[in-house]
Chain A
Amino acid sequence: MIEVKNVTKKYGDFTAVENIGFSVDDSSIYGIIGYNGAGKTTLLKTCAGIYKSENGEVLLDGESSFNSNHNRRNLFYIPDDLYFLPNAALKNMAKFYKGYYPSFSEKTFENLIKLFDLDPSKRLHGFSKGMQRQAEIILALSCRPKYMLLDECFDGLDPQKRNISKQLLLEYMAESGCSMIISSHNLSEISNMCDHVGLINGKKLTLNYCIDDLTANYKKYRLIFEIEPNKSLFDFPEIKKVKIQNNAVILTAMGDSKEIMNKLKALHPVSAEVFGMTLEEIFLSEMEDESYDIKTIFEQ
């Protein structure tokens, strides 16, 4: 189990992430989403013990992940920027990790090489970006870690390898009880793989839900009124966003859709409809801000 407890990480005077907390059970995958620079990588590096948080801590089955050598030995971090030893081939890297990961499995390594069809004797720096990703996934899974941290780990993979990788990770999780944290911009990937999701916005974790609960409870409502309604009418705790266009009102709300619909119908709209939302729609809804009017950008 990975527990992230009120973690705050600063770079000098700049706060990258603030007071973030969540936990990842065994046999569970936690997805972190957020726009570029939101602090996803910082959070993962803090979880991996690379960075020391200013406040809070990350626990791996109760032991701090920073500067420890017990449970962290079962942690594998796949960074966004991959690193291989100078002039190393896949087999050299396997030897390297075998020394540091006592649970490294030669058999798994061989099986995975066959599956991905990579030459273990070729220099990794001569590999394409996608092949390097595959190599890193092979190495990570061969180490048979109990905790995995994956930062944009599917970037550069072709659809087939991407699919294989996902399946491998899911299979490995099911087989070993591994706890994983994945950061990605690909929301469909997160929604397919993860059972929990956290959204980092404005340095803080603004959403932290089980994906099933999120998609079941996060809905969009469309109401038509006879006259344009006042915005204060929709001041319910469940309602996240309100958009009024003449007589039409579009709402996003989180909660039991029946209860919310009952509350809305009490406002006597002409019509009221409820729609399901994808994770991407939820993400965009959460991140929606006073955005620029794109049309005005290129005006001379």
Chain B
Amino acid sequence: MTSKLSLNNNKSFKYDLRRSFKTNFPVPVLAFAFVSLIFIFLNFSFDPHSLSNYFYDDYAAAAQSDFVTNCRKSFICLLAPTFAGSGNWIISIILTAIGALSAITAFSFVYKKKSVNVYYSLGITRGQMFFNRTFACLSMLTAAALIPLLIDLGINIYLFGFGSTLFSYWILLVLTVLTNLFIGFGFTAVALSICGTFFETAFTGALFIFTPTIILSSAQWILDYLLKGYASSNTFFWKYDIEKAFCNQNILKKLSFLNPFLFTDVNNDIYNETNIFENMFYLLPVNADSNTKLPALEIKTILPVAAWFIISILALVLAGKLFDKKKTENAGMRGLNKFVNIYLPLILAVEISCLLPLFVNSKALAVILIILSFAVIAFGLIAIMTKKIKGNKQLYKITGVVFAVFSATILLTGFDVSGYSKYIPEKEEIEKAYVAINFHDFTLNSDDFYVGNLMYHNDFNNMGPFETDDDLSKFIEVNQKVIEKNNSKTKKYVLVKYVLKNGRTVTRCYQNVSAEAEFNVLSLKDSDYNDKLIDTVFGSALTKYYEAYEKDSPEKTVYYQNIKINNFNVRIFNPYTNETIYQWEKMDEQLKAALKNDLKKLSYKELYSSEAKLIGGFSYLLTETLDYYSQGFSACDFIPVYENMTETVKYLKDAGIYEKLIKSTGNKEIKTVEYKSYQEAIIDYCGGGNSIAMFSGIITPYYTKGTLENPYYPIAFKYSLNNKDRMQAALNASQPYYFAKYDSEGYFIGVTFTDNSYSLLYIPEKKVSDFMKNGG
């Protein structure tokens, strides 16, 4: 009897298993189509030309080259170009969604009372029912992923030969794809084992999966918008150098291994903070340098994937246990699971309330809004979920505790109770320090035209490292002044970073810094650090361009100044008219020495806010690009010559250039002067927006198109001067247009000389005469 019974049990179990396979195949078919598209077909479409080279006629020739030999040695592969780059999380999300969909369809009977009655009265246990559906779905999903990935592997072996590195990367890819699918299935299975309705399951499952993302991004938002002094990588994400050098790494990125969609983002020795599959992409034959090799997989690369795979299996085990205890009377009814009733509201409250600071400017208001919205959302959702306001004492008690902890965290963060923003390490602790400011605040410049700064490049500029005792003392003083003056209404930022002797780094971002404190940061020009930079720029020629490319700015910038000074044509010109006075094929050694000494002697005020007359400027002629690595670095294209730069002036006098320069800048007869308020011109030109692009937009056309023969003014001048004396007075007060300050007032003047040459100049507010203000 027993044996007959066992046989019967076995038959039912097998039938249920067969049926599970038969009824659940559509989602794996979808998975097969998606994985095939991503890992086979898109591989061919992303650069068909490069692939056709290897597949067809050119392959034989290419195969003979060292390049392909090296590729083969490195086992450079095409495994997952579509899994590379910042968008890979979308693939992960889709794979996870497919896994979730598979679970939802396999167990769809649990949401309806009618079907529950039948399925749960059948003569198989819940455990068997869960196992059969899970086994059927996961094995079909595995096959659906494995088949295209095997084809992918086959293509790679065909192209580059088989090797252990290639194979290990393939195993990792398979594990990654399966983990995404299993996470989706596992967490949804947990959700469906405790929820009553389809929507509740889908929502809860998604929240389970997104919980790490929600928690990490909420923490990031809070730090970004509430913690005073926090150098957020979000704020400066558009500036890679700034982010890399100064900002705290995005928590979501830093803890990416905690995120089921980003766990493949792990640090790698070749490219920092990048995706393991991105490495593979960059190492493709079409992109890679032949010396680059795909590194063997490291344990830190494999660990997050393996850990998440184990987590997905544990989720399945948990789901099985919960499914065994599932309250079938809840089928088709929401809000009957206590855990879900509290989990959903709390997670949603965290997510939504932490988003609010994005929409308000005041920190105090943001703090109040976050706390209030958390309370409303959490308690309100509990009432909605449980369909009653009273009688949820336990739920409200737990929510109250979470609310108290959350509110305390927000208050402590928002009001900087820990003194985070005011902290400066002791000088003895500091190994080196860096600072960054927005250079547009001091001179107006375009992407191609920078004013006399050897240490800056780009529009947000960093300086450092400051390492000597004197430099660090000065640095701390400057930092203290910034802390004291960071409550103004400006939008000025100062970023500082300390690298401590114990290896720790301290980064701070001071917002709303006063103009005075920001300008004071430039006093760091008078430092050992700056002297060293000047020595490097004007020192003997550096040649290892590739090494420079590997360096971060400002070192990289300085390196390229040296390259340009030692290799490019140099000219001295009239800064008011852009007229070239003299040109050297390469900068003369004596001139280099004179400029070096003068630039060292000039104080920061003399360089950036000089009272002395500007008589000329040096710039390079970018006639050629040295190599790939020197592209895009054109900073310090203008070295000013002031009357008080004695050694340079002496050199120019000795060389007979000075006279020509003075004649050019001082003795031209003026025909007309037109002018317009600087801020008015900005408003006319781009609606008064305060963006960097605005300045580039005004200046670049002039710089690129504005020749003496064909002047280009984007500014429609409002007034004109006819009186000769007034015209001369205006000219005497003017500076080249690139000395216009970012957010100050002044006047643009367009000067036409009697020889019909033109110039766009700028008069700062303090030098503007009354007759101009009154429109005379």
Contacts and interface: CB of A to CB of B under 8 A. Distances in A.
Contacts of B121: 48-50, 72, 75-77, 149
A81 interface: yes
Given A12-B336, A75-B123, A99-B19, A50 B12 contact: no
Contact of A99 (B9, B15, B125, B325): B15
B423 interface: no
Interface in A74-104: 74-77, 79, 81-83, 96, 99-103
A68 interface: yes
A69 B9 contact: yes
Given A67-B324, A69-B9, A70-B5, A79 B117 contact: yes
Contacts of B540: none
Interface in A48-69: 48-52, 67-69
Contacts of A77: 117-118, 121
A121 B16 CA distance: 23
Contacts of B336: 12
B114 A81 contact: yes
A33 B662 CA distance: 116
B646 interface: no
Interface string B1-33: 000010111011101101100000000000000
B244 interface: no
A73 interface: yes
Given A12-B336, A50-B120, A82 B5 contact: no
A45 interface: yes
Interface in B167-226: none
Main SS at interface, chain A = loop
A11 interface: yes
Contacts of B127: 67
Contacts of B125: 67-69
B677 to A, nearest CB: 73
Contacts of A74: 123
Contact of A51 (B19, B112, B114, B329): B329
Given A83-B114, A99-B15, A100-B15, A70 B9 contact: yes
Interface residues of B, number: 33
Kindly state the interface size class of chain A when it binds its partner. Answer: 20 to 34
B342 to A, nearest CB: 15
Contacts of B327: 51-52
Interface in B315-335: 324-325, 327-329
Contacts of B126: 67
Contacts of B123: 69-70, 72-75, 100-101
Contacts of A45: 117, 328-329
A100 B120 contact: no
Given A49-B120, A70-B9, A100 B16 contact: yes
B8 A73 contact: yes
A12 B16 CA distance: 32
25 contacts: A45-B117, A45-B328, A48-B120, A49-B120, A50-B120, A50-B328, A69-B13, A69-B125, A69-B128, A70-B5, A70-B9, A73-B8, A73-B124, A77-B118, A79-B117, A81-B117, A83-B114, A99-B11, A99-B16, A100-B15, A101-B123, A102-B7, A102-B11, A102-B12, A149-B121
Given A52-B325, A99-B18, A100-B12, 14 more contacts: A50-B328, A67-B324, A68-B125, A69-B12, A70-B9, A73-B12, A77-B121, A81-B113, A81-B114, A83-B112, A83-B118, A100-B122, A101-B12, A102-B8
